[in-house]
Structure 1
Amino acid sequence: MAKQFDRIEPAHREMMARQAIFFMGSSAGDSRVNIPPRSTAHFHVLGDLAVAYLDLTGSGSETAAHARAGGRATIMFCTFEGPPQILRLYGRPRIAFRGSPDYRAFVAERYPQGEPAGARQVVTIDLDLVQTSCGYAVPLFEHVGERPVLDRWAEAKGEEGLEAYRREKNMESIDGLPTGLGEA
């Protein structure tokens, strides 16, 4: 049975720390629901009621558009090894675009070795509900490792190439909602 919590508990932090992947769902109004998988390598618990992840450049920027339109977001973790469990974090997303003061502060605090290649924005979710459920139907998988493809792609593009790519592919959602990129 599902259990609801008004904040992230220590057991939830421990469960998230053991995972290699999470799923980020977002939508706004009548837009399509977007649910990309993400590596936990750039996921951060900011406190009992907020989480964030450093979002790398990709083919779309749906979450930014949904945040700008006042949409909602859900992050889902599920265990693929060990005891079954699903953890969902519900809330409102907000975006700190690359170069903004909030983005720079986040990267300086959490990436002292420097900004990862292809970094685009920070997605923060201000939480209003945390929920666990059994996860009995989640299959067992073994994590083999991270794919280096996106890092190599971003490094090969270079800074100017990434900026051009973001202007071409990340200015609006697939539903035509503006992302806010370039407005700061």
Structure 2
Amino acid sequence: MGKRFPALLPEHEAFIRKQHLFFVGSAPTAKDGHVNISPKGYDSLRVFSPTEVAYLDLTGSGNETSTHLAENGRITFMFVALEGAPMILRLYGTGKVILPESPEWEKTAAHFELLPGARQIIAADIHLVQTSCGYSVPFLSYAGERDTLEKWAIHKGEDGLIEYREEKNTTSLDGRRTPIGERSNA
């Protein structure tokens, strides 16, 4: 078992800043629901305090994390050293979805470069930080960010993105309404 901490230490924050990739895990409450793990790239994560983080969530083909957060709030972030000394860092917390029309959006979004396709911000209060060795994780070299998602979002345009989200982001894999779907029913 790795080391546990009640909050991020400065060395944890430094490790997070060096990572080009992180993963987000969430799950519905129902036993028959699908656990979701999503990779995240770009410079999309911010550490606001030793117990508060958020990331800018871009339009994608699913919207599982936001559905799970609306249902039960559980979220895990995982960072893996692919270069340098081995380490795995996990953040366990309770998350929420901040949509562009919510009162918190303007204040929270000010901390991010709003990339094309930005659809929501996922914010989390962290109650446990855990490190583990990562000895079996292979070395991988960072070659740069893919620009495919940004180009796709720009090509779609705002109206196209709204239409895409209505088609792909309003219902989860398990048939539950997402916060975007709830908003569109309002």
Q: Give TM class, smaller chain.
A: over 0.9
**1:81 corresponds to:** 83
Give 1:104 deviation, angstroms: 2.1
Q: Could you say which residue in structure 2 is the equivalent of 1:134?
A: 133
| TM-score relative to the length of structure 2 | 0.93
Q: Runs ≥4 in structure 1, deviation > 3 angstroms?
A: none
Q: How does 1:10-25 map to 2 (within 5 A)?
A: 10-25=10-25
Whether contact under 8 Å (2:97, 2:179) holds in the other structure is no
Across the two proteins, how many residue pairs are aligned to each other? 181
Give the corresponding residue for 1:165: 164
One-letter code aligned to 1:70 = N
Is the deviation greater in 101-110 or in 151-160?
101-110
Secondary structure at 2:154 match in 1: helix
| Structure 2 CA distance for aligned equivalents of residues 101 and 154 of structure 1 | 25
Q: Is the 8 A contact 2:73 2:94 kept in 1?
A: yes
Q: 2:58 aligns with which of 46, 51, 56?
A: 56
* Cα-Cα RMSD: 1.3
Q: 2:86·2:134 contact (CA, 8 Å) conserved in 1?
A: yes
Q: 1:92 is aligned with what amino acid?
A: T
Which stretch shows the higher mean deviation, 62-71 or 102-111? Answer: 102-111
TM-score where L is the length of structure 1: 0.94
Q: What are the ranges of 5 or more consecutive residues in structure 1 without an aligned counterpart?
A: none
Deviation digits for residues 54-97 of structure 1 (CA, Å, limit 9, x no counterpart): 00000011011001111411100010011100000001110001
Shift of 1:108: 2.5
> Alignment partner for residue 39 of structure 1, among 32, 38, 41?
41
Q: In structure 2, what is the equivalent of residue 104 of structure 1?
A: 106
CA distance in 2, matches of 1:149, 1:135: 30
Aligned to 1:143: 142
Give percent identity, aligned residues only: 45
